[in-house]
Structure formats: structure tokens, C-alpha cells
Amino acid sequence: MKRLFLAGLLGVMAGASQAAEQAVIYPFEGSFEDAAFAVESAIVGRGLVIDYVSHTGEMLNRTAADVGSDVALFAEADIFLFCSAQLSREVMEIDPMNIAYCPYGVFVAERDGEVMIGYREYPEGEMKKVENLLAEIVQEAME
């Protein structure tokens, strides 16, 4: 599952214009550490449990040479993965195959000295409720 998620994330980041169509990204005024703390606090503050923090930037930096690359994609990048039992049940009772979107993630990344917070877009319909939750979390973290 972790490999599939990371592969999907790398696919999203493959091209700037393609990523812009698949992710909602906000610039963060502050350090990567401050942004990560703000996102974590916004998630936990809603009574949600962070299942896993993927240190994607660290992995990409560590493995660049192994895959024949010298491109530094991010100075740092973490993805906070979590679920909402209530919201997940709600969207999966409508369509059990919405399981494909779980867990939900909010990312924090630093690239070229710019810190950003974002999340992936979801399809029209019941999954927009999840996207709304992610938007609320990010907006809280931005304050």
C-alpha cells in the first residue's frame, strides 16, 4: 500500500502542470518545521489520528543516485496520512470502492526555498466531502 501511494504521489508530481490539476497547493509563510507542526496540530486537533508520516522528501533525496538522478526535488517533504472513521464510513457506504482514496493525506514540502502545504483533489460526488475536510485542515494550518 505504501509503495502504491508513493508511486501515485510521484505520478502526481511528474509534471508541474499535471500536478497543478491534481493537487491544491498553498504557499506557507514560515519554515518547513512550522508548516509540518501546524498541519499535525490541525489534524490531531480534530480528534483524528495520524496513521503514518511519510518522509517522502528524505526518501527521494536518499535514493536519487540509486535511480541515476542528481535532481533534488525537495529540500524536505512529508505527507501526513490519516483517516476519519465517520467520514470514511459515510463515503464508503455510498460507494465501497471509495476505499481506494483512504488514507487521506496532507503534504508539506519545501522546494527552492519555498514552503507549501497541499492535498490531492478528489472526484466529484461524495469524495468532495473528504476534500472539504482536507481544505479545512490546510486553512487552519495556514493561520
Q: Over the stretch 89-141, which tens digit does the pLDDT of each residue have?
A: 999 999 999 999 999 999 999 999 999 999 999 999 999 999 999 999 999 99
Q: Worst-scoring range by mean pLDDT, 4-13, 49-58, 79-88?
A: 4-13
Distance (Å, whole) CA 11 – CA 73: 13
Distance (Å, whole) CA 35 – CA 107: 10
| φ, ψ dihedrals at 79, nearest 5° | -120, 125
Q: Worst-scoring range by mean pLDDT, 14-18, 57-61, 105-109, 111-115?
A: 14-18
Distance (Å, whole) CA 86 – CA 15: 34
Find the mean pLDDT for residues 23-49.
Answer: 97
Find the mean pLDDT for residues 19-38.
Answer: 91
Q: How far is CA 87 from CA 92, 94, 98, 112, 121, in A?
A: 8, 11, 11, 36, 16
Distance (Å, whole) CA 96 – CA 102: 11
On average, the pLDDT of the chain sits at: 89
Is the alpha carbon torsion for 12, 18, 19, 22 positive or negative? Answer: negative
Band of residue 65 on the pLDDT scale cut at 50, 70, 90 = very high
Find the mean pLDDT for residues 27-35.
Answer: 98
Band of residue 12 on the pLDDT scale cut at 50, 70, 90 = very low
* Domains of the chain: residue spans and CATH: 23-142 (3.30.310.70)
Find the mean pLDDT for residues 8-22.
Answer: 50
Distance (Å, whole) CA 32 – CA 97: 34
Distance (Å, whole) CA 75 – CA 135: 24
Band of residue 61 on the pLDDT scale cut at 50, 70, 90 = very high
